[in-house]
Structure 1
Amino acid sequence: MINKNIPFQSIDWNKIPKTEHKGETGIAYWQTTQFNGLRIRIVEYSKDYFADHWCEKGHIVQCLEGTFISELKNGERVILTKGMTYVVSDELSSHRSIAKDGVKLLIIDGDFLKKKE
């Protein structure tokens, strides 16, 4: 892991373009800023969003607006609402997102979440 310092800076999300990522149903809109070993995103899931894959990547996910379900491959479903957060390291769960009415999230991931043996 390369560890580089990040100098103080602000992120004006209004200036970061959105990219579209289609789900099984609905669309995810990502605004992404990337640092060495660190990715920070604002992600919005459209109404009736259902992820098209199981994710095994680690994340810190903060629900900024709305409600969504984080479904785990073992069948467990965790409902997150505005103000709630989940945290998981790489390869410690298979999860996917479902948003009936749309949701806005802050998602942080990077090298610091790599699975440690």
Structure 2
Amino acid sequence: MTLDGFAEAAIDWAATPATEVPGESGAARVRARQLGAAQLRLVDYGPGYCADHWCAKGHLIYVVAGSLVIEHEQSAAAHELEAGMSWAAPDGATPAHRVRSEAGATVFIVD
């Protein structure tokens, strides 16, 4: 990952507008900023959230609060993450993955 193409910046996430994104179940509130080729997101997954799609995009995730599970398509393998934990996947990751959170979680994502 190359971090270039943007000016030094401070981001006030509380002042960044949130977009509600429905999942297969539940919803997430997403605050996002684009810095060059990198997208930064602060995501609040509501209780009972399950993503409505499988993803093969690369991500770096840090769980700020709560807990979530990274599920893999056509696989029983899953990563259970709690506050203070991270997960990483490269672009083109196979099998594809998605997020599920029973109790809700707040995560910081770089992709």
Amino acid at match of 2:14: N
Q: What's the counterpart of residue 31 of structure 2?
A: 31
Task: Structure 1 unaligned segments of length 5 or more: list them.
Answer: 110-117
**Residue range with higher mean Cα deviation, 71-80 or 4-13:** 4-13
Normalised TM-score (structure 2):
0.91
How many residues were matched structurally?
109
How far did 1:6 drift?
Answer: 3.4
Q: Please give the secondary structure, in 2, of the residue aligned with 1:101.
A: coil
Q: Distance in 1 between matches of 2:20 and 2:13?
A: 16
Contact 2:47 2:101 in 1 (8 A): yes
- Counting aligned pairs with the same residue, the percent is 31
Q: What's the counterpart of residue 79 of structure 1?
A: 80
Amino acid at match of 2:21: H
How far did 1:7 drift?
Answer: 3.1
Q: Distance in 1 between matches of 2:4 and 2:83?
A: 32
Normalised TM-score (structure 1):
0.87
Is residue 50 of structure 1 aligned with residue 50 of structure 2? yes
Q: Please give the secondary structure, in 2, of the residue aligned with 1:28.
A: strand
Q: 1:99 to 1:35 in 2, by over 3 A?
A: same
- Higher-strand-fraction structure: 1
